[in-house]
A and B are shown apart, each in its own frame.
Chain A
Amino acid sequence: MTAIAEHQGLTAGSVVTMAGALNQALADALTQDDSVLVFGEDVGTLGGVFRITDGLAASFGQTRVFDTPLSESGIVGTAIGMAMNGLRPVVEMQFDAFAYPAFEQITSHLAKFRNRTRGRVELPIVIRIPYGGGIGGVEHHCDSSEAYYTHTPGLRVVTPGTPADAYVLLREAISSPDPVIFLEPKRRYWSKESVSEQHEFAALDRAVVRRPGTDVTLVAYGGALATALAAAEAAEEDGRSVEVIDLRSLSPFDDETVTASVKRTGRAIVVHEASRFCGYGAEVAARLSEQCFHYLEAPVLRVAGFDIPYPPPHLEEYHLPSVDRILDAIDALQWQETAALVKVAS
């Protein structure tokens, strides 16, 4: 574990946005490793539509930070060839749903090259994808596409929930020998955080307890993390002590941290924006029932988006998991039944 202060990036005590933290992580990676390249659509001169790559082309030159022709498959496919030849591409897909043209390159090649070649060809590539809704985006700009990637062996799938984590996780992702799908919750791009002295470089695949509690565990990530934390705070006022876990790594999944929490609390709710059916929460719920069945006081619930195509801006508030919906789910966790059982037993 390396203290964050040892990296050029974030100064303890300073206030950063997630966008700023990501920009700093890219700048620091470009500085430290000549083999790192940043490319994609509009990431050069413009600095990206979300300005995550702002200033990088000017600082590092057009050979290392550059705009490509408009083809997501082209971006990922050429990144694969570059990585075969010793470079470490960090590429941007402009929006979640615009990454789909690259799906074949990602699933058939990026994820499989190490396996296909028995470890001889390593592809240390990071694909940054702004994802999720909550920004009033029109169609094709708000998908939560994580399950497509987590269902693909060979990929790491990472998503930060806070600015400091965004810095740490992106640096770790760029150093990783495995390909990483790096999902950036775009509605948190402008969220701010004061960088703490204690914030440390953790392993890329470990979840973290964001808020300790004893009655129920909320498992959340990315854009829904802040909602889960707000719900935990509100529940506290109702006398429920809620633990919130930020997964950070969706694949591989940190069973240890999550099951340790649920075994203590006996209740769990998975919160995500993506649709419920075959969504990421289904895997979490299944693992918890497999590993924590005898510790559970109630079924594992999911608070997720509806099973609908992502709605238009004026309707998205009805779709996205809200604090109230999470509180309702907490209320539904069979508290009376357990209390009654305790009474009977005593």
Chain B
Amino acid sequence: MTPELLLPPAHPVTLLDPAGRAVPGDGRDGPGLPDDDVLLTLYRMMVLGRRFDTQATALTKQGRLAVYPSAHGQEACQIGAVLALRAQDWLFPTYRDSMAVTARGVDPVQVLTLLRGDWHSGYDPYQHRVAPQCTPLATNTLHAVGLARAAAIKGEDTVALAMLGDGATSEGDTHAALNFAAVWKAPVVFLIQNNGYAISVPLAKQTAAPTLAHKGIGYGIPGTVVDGNDAAAVYAVVRRAVTSAAAGTGPVLIEALTYRVEAHTNADDASRYRTAGEVDGWLARDPVTRLRAHLRDRGLLDEAAIATVDAEAQAQAAALRQRMNTDTRPDPDDLFRYVYAQPTPELRRQQRELAAELGRAQGRGEG
């Protein structure tokens, strides 16, 4: 591919402006506005996603979750990307992508198992083709590349979507993953949700690159930048990347410009490193409001339909709250069950040791 074709566009791909008006094409070969039914699904899923996110943050205050990293403001990235995937594709999410994981069909209670503290991951990765949410930054990108490469070797039509944040682009594994994917022409789509901050560190302290999408050039990967608060644009750009990766032309790097409206997690204080004015500026670019305005203007969504979606979101959140409002008792024997295919003699001994200890405690009435 000639270097010129690897260059990101001069301006982020935008299909809807912040007021929800369709942006006229610039005459280049950009992706078009998704079909009406896709736009409606994007809207509904974003509303559900945001309500899930708000509910999860509330659960931390009620002591039901140890911690929750909110993705408020990043709904367009997470829902747009996941809806662009096909059933046979794989998602490799990070800890901030819970909304994306639920959008892929994973039970929200299973998604929250990690943060609830019951187990490290609560769902079967093979059921919805979603890898466990990854905490060590950028390490999941290599798993995506390996899985995609294996799919190509086996002749499967599968694309892996690797999610990462702006901070993760500084990690060595991002470099390795982009390089391996490019050399192998692996069917991988890298989606960077550039939300402006790695906990407290702003992008300017993270990179001197013109955009994060420019990083693709060094690997021979075409990069593109998309307005990450425009669900229609994210969907269209990711969809196009999935199609091209599946066709065997190699990986694609997408940078979605968005903003983390909440602090890093409920345990963080964002006022220590950014101004309220900055947050307000981004709230004016809210992805849910934008798509709602667009659909309303075009007569695709009336007040009744908006209320229906809101009611669904409320009901879903209430159900989640109720299901999370129980004390769970994970089985101590599980500690030893999944270390090796078969527990080693030493693990069996330690399991007996713990059982005896618990038995004694129970005998003393502490159990």
Residues of chain A at the chain B interface (Cβ within 8 Å): 37, 63, 68-69, 71, 73-74, 76-87, 101, 104-105, 108-109, 112-122, 153-154, 156, 176-178, 205, 252-253, 255-256
B258 at the interface (CB under 8 A from A): no
Interface residues of B in 148-184 (CB under 8 A from A): 148-151, 153-154, 158, 160, 172-173, 175-177, 179-180, 183
A104 to B135 CA separation, bound complex (whole angstroms): 12
**B 302-342 to A, binary, CB cutoff 8 A, 1 in contact else 0:** 00000000000000000000000000000000100111110
Closest to B172 in A: A73
Residues of B within 8 A of A117 (CB): 121, 124-125, 132, 338
Provide the bound-state CA to CA distance between A83 and B143, in Å: 9
Contact of B222 with A by CB under 8 A: no
A115 touches B339 (CB 8 A): yes
Total B residues in contact with A, Cβ cutoff 8 Å: 42
Given contacts A73-B176, A87-B153, list 15 more A-B pairs with CB under 8 A.
A69-B176, A71-B179, A77-B139, A77-B173, A78-B149, A81-B145, A82-B146, A84-B143, A86-B154, A114-B340, A118-B121, A121-B125, A178-B341, A252-B344, A255-B345
- CB neighbours (8 Å) of B158 from chain A are 85
How many Å lie between the Cα of A146 and that of B143 in the bound state?
Answer: 25
Which residues on the A side are within 8 Å of B120 (C-beta)? 112, 115-116
Contact partner, B338, options A73, A86, A115, A253, Cβ 8 Å: A115
**When the two chains form their complex, are residues B149 and A156 in contact, meaning their CB atoms are under 8 A apart?**
no
Establish whether residues A119 and B337, one from each chain, have CB atoms under 8 Å apart when the complex forms.
Answer: yes
- Across the interface, B339 reaches (CB within 8 A) one of A69, A81, A105, A153, namely A153
Q: Report the nearest B residue to A108, measured CB to CB.
A: B136
In the complex the two chains form, is B131's CB within 8 Å of A84's CB?
yes
Query: What is the bound-complex CA distance between A101 and B179, given in angstroms?
Result: 16
Q: Once the chains are docked, how many angstroms separate the CA of A256 from the CA of B153?
A: 43
Kindly list chain A residues whose C-beta atoms are within 8 Å of the C-beta of B121: 116-118
Q: Mark B323-367, 1 if CB is under 8 A from A, else 0.
A: 000000000001001111100111000000000000000000000
The answer to whether the Cβ of B67 comes within 8 Å of any Cβ in the partner chain is no
What B residues does A80 contact at CB under 8 A? 142-143, 146
Given contacts A74-B176, A84-B131, A84-B143, contact A119 B150 (CB under 8 A): no
Q: Is B147 an interface residue (CB 8 A)?
A: yes
Would you call B144 an interface residue if the criterion is a C-beta within 8 Å of the partner chain's C-beta atoms? yes
- B124, B141, B338, B345 — most chain A CB neighbours (10 Å): B338
Smallest CB gap from A251: residue in B: B344
Would you call A85 and B180 a contact (CB within 8 A)?
no
- A156 and B340 contact, CB distance less than 8 A: yes
A68 to B182: give the CA distance in the assembly, Å.
12
Number of A-B pairs, beta carbon distance below 8 Å: 135
Q: How far is the CA of A231 from the CA of B158 in the complex (A)?
A: 57
Contact B180 A74 (CB under 8 A): yes
Assess whether B126 is interfacial by the CB under 8 Å rule: yes
| Chain B residues in 8 Å Cβ range of A252 | 340, 344-346
- On whether A120 and B125 interact (CB within 8 A), knowing A73-B142, A73-B173, A255-B345, the answer reads yes
A-B contact pairs, 27 of them (CB 8 A): A68-B180, A73-B172, A74-B180, A77-B173, A77-B177, A78-B142, A80-B142, A81-B145, A81-B146, A82-B147, A82-B149, A82-B150, A83-B146, A84-B131, A84-B146, A84-B147, A87-B153, A101-B172, A105-B173, A109-B143, A114-B338, A115-B339, A117-B121, A118-B119, A118-B338, A121-B126, A177-B341
A81 to B337, CA, bound (A): 23
Q: Most B CB atoms within 10 A — which of A83, A120, A122?
A: A120
A99 to chain B minimum Cβ distance, whole angstroms, is 14
Q: Contact between A86 and B150 (Cβ–Cβ < 8 Å)?
A: yes
The answer to whether A85 touches B154, judged by C-beta atoms less than 8 angstroms apart, is yes
B143 contact from A77, A118, A178, Cβ within 8 A: A77
B147's partner among A81, A120, A178 (CB-CB below 8 A) is A81
- Among A78, A82, A177, A255, the most chain B Cβ lie within 10 Å of the Cβ of A78
A residues in contact with B145, CB < 8 Å: 77-78, 81
Residues of B within 8 A of A73 (CB): 142, 172-173, 176
